[in-house]
Structure 1
Amino acid sequence: MASVDMRSPLPVSKVSPVASPSLQPPTPPLSPPLPSPRTITELLSLRARDFPDEPIFGYPSDALDYLEYTYSDLVRISSRAARRYADCLPSRTDSHQETRVIALLGPSDLDYFFTLLALSRLGFTVLFLSTRISQAAYLSLLDVTKCRHLVVGSSFRKTANALAAARDGLEVIDILTQAQYMTDTQLDDAALQQQHFDLDQESSKVAWIIHSSGSTGLPKPIYQTHKAALKNYENSLRMRGFVTLPLFHAFGLSNVFRGITAVKKIYIYNTNLPLTSQHLLKILTDHEFEIFLAVPYALKLLSETPDGINALAALKVVMFGGSACPDALGDLLTEGGVNLISHYGTTETGQLMTSFRPADDKAWNYVREHDQLKPYLRMEPQGGNLYELCVLDGWPSKVATNRDDGSYATKDLFEPHPSIPGAWKYCGRLDDTLVLVNGEKAIPLAMEQALRQNKLVREAVMFGTGKSQLGMMVIASEQGAGMGAGDLLESIWPTIMAENKALPAYAQLAKDMITVLPAGTAYPCTDKGSLIRQAFYRAFHNEIEEVYHQAESRTAGTLVLSELELREFIRGHLLDLCPQDESTCLTDDTDLFSLGVDSLHSTRLRAKILQEVQLNGNSLPQNIVFEYPTISKLAAAILNIRDRKSGETRDVVKEMERLVEKYSEFPQHIPVPSKSTERCIVVTGATGSLGAHLVAQLVRRQDISEVCCLVRASSKSSARRRVIESMQRRAVYHTLPLDLRRKISCYPSDFSKPDLGLGVSVYASISAKITSLVHCAWSVNFNKNLSSFEADCIAGARHLMLLCLSAQQPTPASFNFCSSVSTVTNTPGDAVAEALPQSFKCAQGMGYAQSKLVTEHLVTRAASQTGMEARVLRVGQIIADTAHGIWNDTEAIPLMLQAATTIGALPSLDEHPRWLPVDSVARVVTDISLSSTTHAVFNIVNPRTFHWTNDLLPALHNAGLSFAQVNQREWIRRLRASNPDPEQNPTIKLVEFFASKYDNDLTNRKNFKYVTSTAEQISPELGMVPALSADLVKKFVGHFLKTSWTAKAPTAESRHQQSTRLIVLSGPPGVNKSTVAIELAESLSCPVIDGDAVHDAIAKAKMSSGIHLSSLDRQIWLARIKLEVLERFRADHIVHGEQPKSGGRSEKDVILTCSALSRPDRNTLRNILSRSNDETEAEYINTIFVVLQATEDEILRRMADGKRNTMRLDMVASRLDTTGHADVDELDIFPVDAEQEMEAIIQEALGGLAVLA
């Protein structure tokens, strides 16, 4: 271990993997006993005195690269931090002064840890605020604890600002970083203001305030004195440990200080990393821990691979806390040799019991009473073999009471082991929160209590944990005994409706999910008559399951309706579920999904129909609203189901044939002479990935004068903004020169209208110049029925073909339709020709594919009727682009691959995919669309295949992913058993889709051979694309890991990129940088630095004299800019600063205006704040370049008109020559046309900043 300069913010050593035994020194013995500290600060001082160079605390410097801190480090760093905090917090000099409460809110990282030590050193009480509670909860805690100072991490500055706005007198201070106090030489000999603390008195003062979860209301503060906390920390296993819980959680905080107390090294998890099996496994295998302390979810991640279980088995102890561990998971681990220990304790009582046991005792999930606890433990019967745990007065670490006798009733329920005395299994809470299968949480108490007040109700109990929706059982009272179940339900329904209004949609009760039980029904309750929830669930398990079964199969409605009455019934309930501004917009033939009807509305509408409409014992399909998405079609389908017990209610093939006939009449083109050789290409779908790449490639062709984008938008400016942001998001906009960007025109449109929503004049202007149209836009919704695609997509395609036929050219504009291979998925045989399929049945069984096949027929009919060049471009699986690896993370394949990081496994499949990068597809589409070929149908798929298991999975491993390869059914099993929260585990959203494909033993799937000879002849690019590029795999894996695959648990860098930005507004003279900067600063509520004003006097004189600046001049200028920028950021970070304006962004944005920058200049501005140059500060700043551009002629004109610019006219051209264009890898650049109106410039710049944030 190399020593370091005392001024360095680094600790004493950098941790290497366990291969080096010298990095694991023996722990000094604790005999004789160590002196007992009286305060947290004295604990550190005593240990630093006795073990000054003992490494005791570990935290990563970057990702998983841990640094160790000695006791001397902890004292030295926390002392320096305290000196800086003393400058911005009210002082406390002796024990007679009242203790102030300082709230701490932020991620549980290294700065957070040293801040809590520093605040304690200053004699403050630290209020730990969870990062996951509501504003009302924060305000309640601040009020109850009389806290007027909030120390906040930068990622929670917005929350802090909102709290300060809601509470007068709340002062907000930013958490200090080590860079702000460890590199300040003025602190070397500085001393804290003289403090005269009586440590005996301080021992009884409150050290920490940790709050309850607030699951049944607002969270409550729990006060821990120094004495009680230190007593709790003495209860230690004396093992080298690793903790994954945050420091604001009692379990996490206690175990860190247990290690510090016992002189046993303790590591905490990097809060900037997502909790994944790969990260956990590497940490556990790189370091020789003895104990692992985690929540059950972390254990679940590790249990998904043999390596994870082996790593846990290698530890002396694996202890979980924070929530109950599922029995199946615990059994799996113990069977794998893991010494799994259940821990039970509360913030109010400290640690109470664990499941330490003899080796032959397998009851890991039963915690045991120990001799010290028994006198203070009382298990109070609650019925049904359940007991509530109460801690009696006198238990040393108990800091709260909620009973008159001084005891604390935990509300936690346990059941005794059938044969082991003093062993108890945790079962749940008296006031259980219901957790739905999708992870949403609902609190049942308010609804239950409201119904219990009704004289007709004896008891009301909600249920639904692990289910898709909530239900309730209502037990009638004696007064309600004479009423039928239906009548009683109608009587209490107004109360339920009133409560529903205050609840989120997922927590609302539907009438058909309520069961009324007769008066006198026995149910588990206490002697006082209080419900015992968990015992009730067990006693009524079968009845609860029947409620869900009936909800799926109920056909008990009694209304016998005519078709007209049924339409009105559906209309009325739809308007209740999805209100419209004008009820007249919901006609019988309105597509329901165009009005915002979603899957939740569809489910509830189906439930209403089942509940009230007579169906003669027949059932409604789950997807009926999607299948029949208009009132008229839905009513007809329901009546068909009612009147016929079986049979297909519709013939999709006949419907497809009808649509082809309906839209296949096309007028003849009227030739118009034209001598122009320029091409105008109309593109739809430019806001999608393929469309964005198409536009970027088309504008680069010299023979194309304009690319006209038709966009679903409310205005022309909105259409333009959507296209630009789409292209910037795909990294194809920033490299386009100004003259090429000006080829792009954008118009708001509505394809369902004959004039495409363009209006007469715009339509005429486009028809006067159009030469080709590439149609990429299509509704991507795999749940919608064929008829839902009729107006916008099928009729819309015909309207676009009519635009081509209206072209004021000698021949019609060519029409090029980007179709999908889903139109031929069910083709018989093993080959797909470059032709229409033999039958409509060849399309995949979903409206998306069926509608595209209908349009393929319309395209070929238009060509045969009119002679226009109309082509079907049948596109296969599109993946990431070859330059950057950018891929939509919500598509099925990326979600599937993401399982490597979330569940640590991918399936081994015997599949042969044909993937094409999106930029390659765009080039092929461009080549074919601009050709003169008369061939009608092309298959744009990769002629080459790769093998999923033999080629892709090894490439993913080589790209840095670590995962197990399992068979397809095992993968589905693991996915079903994984974290149900789609925010943390996005793959779970498609679990049923993946199960439909892979939850079976079918391994040899059909592998079509697509004929591509004609497509390859016209576009040789198609024949040169490799089957699978290892380089591209690395790129898209890298892209996902930097963005979405780690976005659920953002890194420090990504969080600060969202909250702190250096916006470099650059451009040559004459582009109005100063005016734009002022307008942007007004919108963003941030300061502006005039970079050109930072030039020294020599440089200004040179420019005025027409002398070019030398390389040294520019280096000096950039160095001065660095100092100015860093000074501004440091000032903004240390003190709370100004409140942002309403709708504005954080005040930590800073705008820097400067002249046009070359690539080296831009690199300098990036690097002055990079980790390599400024280790502690760069991670907080994201540099973005907004480049204002204008033509040289316009710049010269403006400069000739202006008087204040110091640069001579003859210097402009040379300055423009040195700037060059953005390089492909400069994704932090957003160019803006400075010749637009000022409002357009500002809106475009703001849009670009939003994309790059």
Structure 2
Amino acid sequence: MSSETSSFQKLPIKYKKSFALINVFEDQVKKYADKVYARYYGRLHNGDLGYKTMTYADVDRIATNLACEWSGKVKGYNVVAFIADQSVQYFLCVLACLKLRATFLALSPRNSEAAVVNLLNKTDCRFIFSTTKYAALAQGAAAQVDGTVCQVLPSFNLAGRLKQPLNPKALHVLDKKFSKKDIEKTCAIIHSSGSTAFPKPIRLSNRYLICGIQSIPGHAYSQDPSVAPSFGDAQLCCLPIFHMSGFMGSFNMSLVGGSNIYLPKFPPSAREVLMALQLNNSTHMLAPPLIVDQLIPSLNEPKDYAPLQKMKYICIIGAALDEKTGDYFHANNINVCNVYGMTEITFLLGSDMRKTKSHKWNILSPMKVAMPYIRWEPAENEPNQYSLIVKGNCPALATGISNRPDGDYDTSDLFMETTKGSNQWIYLGRKDDTLAMKNGEKTNPVPMESALRATPIVKLCTIVGEGRECTAALIELDTAHAFGCTPQQMIDQVDAAVAKANANAPTHSHLLSQMVYILPFDCHLPHTDKGTVPRKKVIQMYKQVIDKLYDNFINGPTVPAACKVEKSASSWTADEIDSFLIQAVAAVLSVSDTNTLSKHLTSSLFDLGLNSLLSIQLRNRVAQSFENIPQNFLFEHPSIESMRNALIVGSKETQEDMDAKHYAETEEILQKYIRKAKSDFAVAKTNYPKGGQQVVLLTGATGAVGSFILRDLLQSDKIKKVYCLVRGRKGTDLMGRLRAAFNGRSLDASLLQPGRVEALPMNLDDAYLGFSRELYTRLRQEVTIVQACAWLLDFNQPVTHYEKSCIVGFYNLIKFAYKKKNPMHFHLVSSITATAKYGDVIPEVPMACDPTVAASFGYAHSKYICEHLMTYLSQGKNFPCYIERLGQVCGDTVNGAWNTSEQFPTMIVSGGMLLKSMPMLTSRIDWLPLNFAASTITKIMIDTAADKANAPKAVFHIVNPNEVMWTDVLAAMKQCGMKFDVVPIEEWVQALSKRQDVPAYKLLSFYENSFKDLANSPHWNTEKTIQAVPHLGKAPSFNANLLEKYISYWRKEGFCN
């Protein structure tokens, strides 16, 4: 093999010349006819059991004779399915089907009958071969698919077939004329595991397979020819042929005149694996982590590593091997290495396969042949994490699996580069594994699970937390290790593992000690052949355990009445409460010096390190000594002083009292910023030129609305350039985040050209927005329009929190945009919640100063403040400021991309598909498709770019003027096939509270508090906005056709499968 290999076109065997996989194999048979190809377990001539051999010619002759026997049976069938256990006979049957030019559908015997039926229908397969063992499964499935024939194969007499000569009709029966037409023909179909739904068939062309069988040997050869497979080598493949890796492993040794070892049964025991390696002098092994893990006890007794030490390499396939296991092997001079691949893309990354390595055994780099065809795309909201994207022209792509508009394939796997620019990567896990927490944060559990498993006492584990307040872990101990420990030692080792898992995880993902559940020794976590733990299955199996963990965490463990000591709140002095709270806060925040807290009684604890996760702990500590502590206690009273005052007042403080307090805080913050504006800004002089191109500074460009606004701006010839302020830690690929946002919403990423758009790091808390003074000054001279689209969305936080997290930065952005002559045109994507309580009909004008017109939560209050600040600047400082009050946005009308974490997608799927009930509301529905919302805002920005300040004309309502009623939404759901009852609001919320397994449960508190607002919504006028943007009047109202698109998008996202 050439060490200069740099693309698939330079591989030794070229698919453009060989045309078909079976043609490649038959060419190798001609070269190595009398050499051993198959080593299989059976009875030897002396009567003992051991490994027998077949030559290349033997294998080919038996397969040819089988094909001749089957030719009449399968004639007219394009796809032939096969159900059997792994064996050398299985491989012979594969060859027979390929010789007949039929597409081979490999069915896992672990499939259910329903799954087999589904696969037969998806692949248009109407012929099944089955061994007697799986006859009932095959026949049962065939009976449910019209026109399907099931052929049960008789016992395979391999000894007899070895003696048979070549069928004399072979030359006439078999078509051996191959051409370019065969390159893209589907040769085999391998299906996914179906761990969360029915298995998905993946079609593998001859092109794909010819490239795929050369990938691992080629990667090894490019690094060190001495470890690559070579003439006479023997390979043990511990994966079944109905897996892509097993299918490839059955063919790749034929490239060099080597042989394959077939185990007596599957899955094998550790003893059977070691025996196969020894008896066959195996040089290479392909295996999943689970099998490699199981070898360790057998190797330790009697510490004989020789069979593995003499091997060239053991290649881990299918999942990541635990770091502790890989380190164990290398410590004992056993060469373990990794490759990364999947059925959709074959193998494209590999580790250092040399025995003396330059990098650690589990660090991956792109294979040379793959380099031109892959790129790394930054993961959204995950600094330093990248998704592997395979280009659509890659010869190693399976047929029809593109999931990007440009034809590329997003693997949905996450990696981290060891050092920037090294092109060396550590596999982290799948995007699909990401847990969307109840507080809106996201957790990638895979690195945390890997850290837990790196501790010897942990055998298996899984982390849960989807839709929950925090993460939790279920851990199965390794009994061989645990039985040598006392109970306390076991707990200490698990605690140490948890500390390591938390060390590199974001704080919102941290595992708390009370959220770690160690399974009893007679309970076990389910796992796949690859050793991975299926998270959803664990959640189903241990639902009661998990629910109790969270119930105890949220509400505090139930304390027997006899043990409960209570002290009336009225008997506490203020000093006693302060002392109690300081101790509680110190414990939760792990603060050793309580004097520090004593000096910060009025400081927000969120500024001192409290987060939503720790706030639950602190609330529970307070609730153990004081009665009637609500769940949002810390959000309402974020300082020690405010908590103390609330506890003294106790139950006397009503919701009305808290609302009045928040409204007063809102007005106080607004007046503070108006006073600042009065002194910071002089009255501007304006005379804007007309007809020139505009330069835009945009925040929030990676969000749903922001990314569509950016798309529309870049499509306009009136926009010269767009600067996007993007959040990201130092070193983050900010343009990559923009590309990821576009690709995730099926937008045209080719618009993101360097000359038209530039991504800059965003730090609005800094006076210079995080820029150097030189860049800040240059941008102030260049930018003509600012659009503030980014904003925190957390309905739990009060307006005081929004001041620190949003309004301070918003004011710095205003200072950036202000100039004494011709200040930039400043736009705010506001919210209809800022005016939700104004009345039944809300006009398109600035509101009078009255904070009670805003909805009663901090997000709405913050938008109210910004609106009034902008109105003041427009009226008092001649500063052109524009307010776009945005309503509920739904998915776009082209691709149906609607964020699955939002309240209404969650409600529709949970109610219409899972609860089988929906609440009866009387509200109007003015949901506006995302593309209409963005295009309306964009047109306003462009068309007002030369206008002078005019506050009454600067307010626009971005809602759908073509309203429908809630009953129309319910009707559309039923038109889409959903069956449900319509029930009163209270009944629906009550039903939801009992179903923690449905997505809407994570928004339960929001529904409880906000249904009164949803039930009777006002009407936002749009006449002025339509006059400015007539296109808005053509927005489609919510209907069944749109909902079908949304459901299709949600299914692609795995949300409602």
Structure 2 length normalisation: TM-score? 0.52
- SS of corresponding position for 1:705: strand
1:620 aligned partner, one-letter code = I
Match of 1:679 among 694, 699, 704: 694
* 1:707 CA displacement: 1.8
* 1:846 CA displacement: 1.4
Q: Find the counterpart in structure 2 of residue 746 from structure 1.
A: 759
* 1:876 CA displacement: 0.3
Instruction: Using the TM superposition, name which of 890-899 and 496-505 deviates more.
Output: 496-505
1:56 aligned partner, one-letter code = Q
**In 1: Cα distance, 2:838 partner to 2:146 partner:** 54
- Could you say if the C-alpha distance between residues 589 and 671 of structure 1 is closer, same or farther in structure 2, counting changes exceeding 3 Å? farther
Where structure 1 has 5 or more consecutive residues not aligned to the other structure, the ranges are 26-42, 90-99, 130-134, 181-271, 273-432, 463-492, 512-532, 1050-1253
Q: Find the counterpart in structure 1 of residue 587 from structure 2.
A: 573
**In 1: Cα distance, 2:759 partner to 2:642 partner:** 41
Q: Find the counterpart in structure 2 of residue 1008 from structure 1.
A: 1018
* 1:840 CA displacement: 1.4
Query: Is the CA contact (8 Å cut-off) linking 2:601 and 2:641 kept in structure 1?
Result: no
Identity %: 19
Query: Is the CA contact (8 Å cut-off) linking 1:656 and 1:840 kept in structure 2?
Result: yes
* 1:496 CA displacement: 12
**In 2: Cα distance, 1:885 partner to 1:906 partner:** 24
Query: Is the CA contact (8 Å cut-off) linking 1:706 and 1:744 kept in structure 2?
Result: yes
Give deviations 1:676-701, integer Å, cap 9, x for gaps: 93322221211211111112212333
Instruction: Using the TM superposition, name which of 548-557 and 1003-1012 deviates more.
Output: 548-557
Query: Is the CA contact (8 Å cut-off) linking 1:618 and 1:641 kept in structure 2?
Result: no
Work out whether 1:690 is the aligned partner of 2:716: no
- SS of corresponding position for 2:783: coil
- Could you say if the C-alpha distance between residues 176 and 689 of structure 1 is closer, same or farther in structure 2, counting changes exceeding 3 Å? closer
* 1:1036 CA displacement: 2.5
Give deviations 1:660-686, integer Å, cap 9, x for gaps: 110013211454888693322221211
- Could you say if the C-alpha distance between residues 735 and 440 of structure 1 is closer, same or farther in structure 2, counting changes exceeding 3 Å? same
Work out whether 1:927 is the aligned partner of 2:939: yes
- SS of corresponding position for 1:742: coil
Q: Find the counterpart in structure 1 of residue 634 from structure 2.
A: 625
Q: Find the counterpart in structure 1 of residue 151 from structure 2.
A: 70
Which residues in structure 2 correspond to 1:288-367 (within 5 Å)? none
Instruction: Using the TM superposition, name which of 1003-1012 and 795-804 deviates more.
Output: 1003-1012
- Could you say if the C-alpha distance between residues 16 and 553 of structure 1 is closer, same or farther in structure 2, counting changes exceeding 3 Å? same
Q: Find the counterpart in structure 1 of residue 1037 from structure 2.
A: 1027
Query: Is the CA contact (8 Å cut-off) linking 2:696 and 2:785 kept in structure 1?
Result: yes
**In 2: Cα distance, 1:15 partner to 1:605 partner:** 53
Query: Is the CA contact (8 Å cut-off) linking 2:936 and 2:1032 kept in structure 1?
Result: yes
Q: Find the counterpart in structure 2 of residue 1129 from structure 1.
A: none
**In 2: Cα distance, 1:797 partner to 1:920 partner:** 26
Q: Find the counterpart in structure 2 of residue 704 from structure 1.
A: 719
Query: Is the CA contact (8 Å cut-off) linking 2:684 and 2:879 kept in structure 1?
Result: no
Query: Is the CA contact (8 Å cut-off) linking 2:472 and 2:515 kept in structure 1?
Result: no
Match of 1:836 among 841, 847, 867: 847
1:866 aligned partner, one-letter code = K
* 1:177 CA displacement: 9.1
- SS of corresponding position for 2:1055: helix
Give deviations 1:461-489, integer Å, cap 9, x for gaps: x9xxxxxxxxxxxxxxxxxxxxxxxxxxx
* 1:972 CA displacement: 5.0
**In 1: Cα distance, 2:787 partner to 2:608 partner:** 28
Work out whether 1:827 is the aligned partner of 2:838: yes
Q: Find the counterpart in structure 1 of residue 520 from structure 2.
A: none
Structure 1 length normalisation: TM-score? 0.44
Work out whether 1:790 is the aligned partner of 2:803: yes
Work out whether 1:967 is the aligned partner of 2:977: no
**In 1: Cα distance, 2:873 partner to 2:345 partner:** 69
What's the C-alpha RMSD, in Å, of the aligned pairs?
Answer: 6.3
* 1:914 CA displacement: 0.9
- SS of corresponding position for 1:774: strand
**In 1: Cα distance, 2:494 partner to 2:322 partner:** 36
2:642 aligned partner, one-letter code = A
**In 2: Cα distance, 1:709 partner to 1:179 partner:** 34
**In 2: Cα distance, 1:784 partner to 1:125 partner:** 55
**In 2: Cα distance, 1:500 partner to 1:111 partner:** 36
- Could you say if the C-alpha distance between residues 688 and 798 of structure 1 is closer, same or farther in structure 2, counting changes exceeding 3 Å? same
Q: Find the counterpart in structure 2 of residue 561 from structure 1.
A: 575
Match of 2:667 among 640, 657, 661: 657
Query: Is the CA contact (8 Å cut-off) linking 1:685 and 1:778 kept in structure 2?
Result: yes
- Could you say if the C-alpha distance between residues 560 and 73 of structure 1 is closer, same or farther in structure 2, counting changes exceeding 3 Å? farther
* 1:835 CA displacement: 3.5
* 1:790 CA displacement: 0.5
1:893 aligned partner, one-letter code = F
Q: Find the counterpart in structure 2 of residue 950 from structure 1.
A: 968
**In 2: Cα distance, 1:997 partner to 1:566 partner:** 34
2:983 aligned partner, one-letter code = N
**In 1: Cα distance, 2:619 partner to 2:928 partner:** 41
- Could you say if the C-alpha distance between residues 953 and 161 of structure 1 is closer, same or farther in structure 2, counting changes exceeding 3 Å? farther
Query: Is the CA contact (8 Å cut-off) linking 1:916 and 1:941 kept in structure 2?
Result: yes
* 1:653 CA displacement: 1.5
* 1:819 CA displacement: 0.9
Q: Find the counterpart in structure 1 of residue 33 from structure 2.
A: none
2:318 aligned partner, one-letter code = F
Work out whether 1:126 is the aligned partner of 2:267: yes
**In 2: Cα distance, 1:1006 partner to 1:751 partner:** 37
- Could you say if the C-alpha distance between residues 567 and 441 of structure 1 is closer, same or farther in structure 2, counting changes exceeding 3 Å? closer
Query: Is the CA contact (8 Å cut-off) linking 2:313 and 2:335 kept in structure 1?
Result: no
Structure index of larger Rg: 1
Query: Is the CA contact (8 Å cut-off) linking 2:699 and 2:789 kept in structure 1?
Result: yes
Instruction: Using the TM superposition, name which of 1030-1039 and 556-565 deviates more.
Output: 556-565
- Count of aligned residue pairs for this structure pair: 671
* 1:883 CA displacement: 2.5
* 1:942 CA displacement: 0.8
- Could you say if the C-alpha distance between residues 752 and 601 of structure 1 is closer, same or farther in structure 2, counting changes exceeding 3 Å? same
- Could you say if the C-alpha distance between residues 11 and 1040 of structure 1 is closer, same or farther in structure 2, counting changes exceeding 3 Å? closer
Which residues in structure 2 correspond to 1:715-1114 (within 5 Å)? 718-736=733-751, 738=753, 742-806=755-819, 809=821, 811-829=822-840, 831=842, 834-836=845-847, 839-899=850-910, 903=914, 905=916, 907=918, 909-910=920-921, 911-930=923-942, 931=944, 932=947, 934=951, 935-951=953-969, 953-954=971-972, 957-958=975-976, 962-967=978-983, 972=989, 975-976=992-993, 978=995, 980=997, 985-994=998-1007, 1005-1028=1015-1038, 1030-1045=1040-1055
Instruction: Using the TM superposition, name which of 845-854 and 437-446 deviates more.
Output: 437-446
Query: Is the CA contact (8 Å cut-off) linking 1:903 and 1:978 kept in structure 2?
Result: no
Q: Find the counterpart in structure 2 of residue 156 from structure 1.
A: 318
**In 2: Cα distance, 1:552 partner to 1:623 partner:** 24
**In 1: Cα distance, 2:777 partner to 2:341 partner:** 61
- SS of corresponding position for 2:956: strand
Give deviations 1:772-812, integer Å, cap 9, x for gaps: 221111111111111111123222222222222226x4x32
Give deviations 1:275-309, integer Å, cap 9, x for gaps: xxxxxxxxxxxxxxxxxxxxxxxxxxxxxxxxxxx
**In 1: Cα distance, 2:140 partner to 2:106 partner:** 11
Query: Is the CA contact (8 Å cut-off) linking 1:719 and 1:748 kept in structure 2?
Result: yes
- SS of corresponding position for 1:721: helix
2:786 aligned partner, one-letter code = L
**In 2: Cα distance, 1:847 partner to 1:178 partner:** 46
- SS of corresponding position for 2:1046: helix
Q: Find the counterpart in structure 2 of residue 668 from structure 1.
A: 682
Give deviations 1:232-252, integer Å, cap 9, x for gaps: xxxxxxxxxxxxxxxxxxxxx
* 1:973 CA displacement: 6.1
- SS of corresponding position for 2:139: strand
**In 2: Cα distance, 1:1022 partner to 1:550 partner:** 65
1:937 aligned partner, one-letter code = V
**In 2: Cα distance, 1:76 partner to 1:578 partner:** 76
Which residues in structure 2 correspond to 1:599-614 (within 5 Å)? 599-610=612-623
Give deviations 1:795-842, integer Å, cap 9, x for gaps: 2222222222226x4x32222111111123333445555441673122
- Could you say if the C-alpha distance between residues 590 and 919 of structure 1 is closer, same or farther in structure 2, counting changes exceeding 3 Å? farther
Q: Find the counterpart in structure 2 of residue 646 from structure 1.
A: 652
- Could you say if the C-alpha distance between residues 729 and 672 of structure 1 is closer, same or farther in structure 2, counting changes exceeding 3 Å? same
* 1:890 CA displacement: 1.6
- SS of corresponding position for 2:642: helix
* 1:585 CA displacement: 15
* 1:844 CA displacement: 1.9
2:700 aligned partner, one-letter code = G
**In 1: Cα distance, 2:1042 partner to 2:832 partner:** 23
Query: Is the CA contact (8 Å cut-off) linking 2:132 and 2:153 kept in structure 1?
Result: no
Query: Is the CA contact (8 Å cut-off) linking 1:823 and 1:849 kept in structure 2?
Result: yes
- SS of corresponding position for 2:961: coil
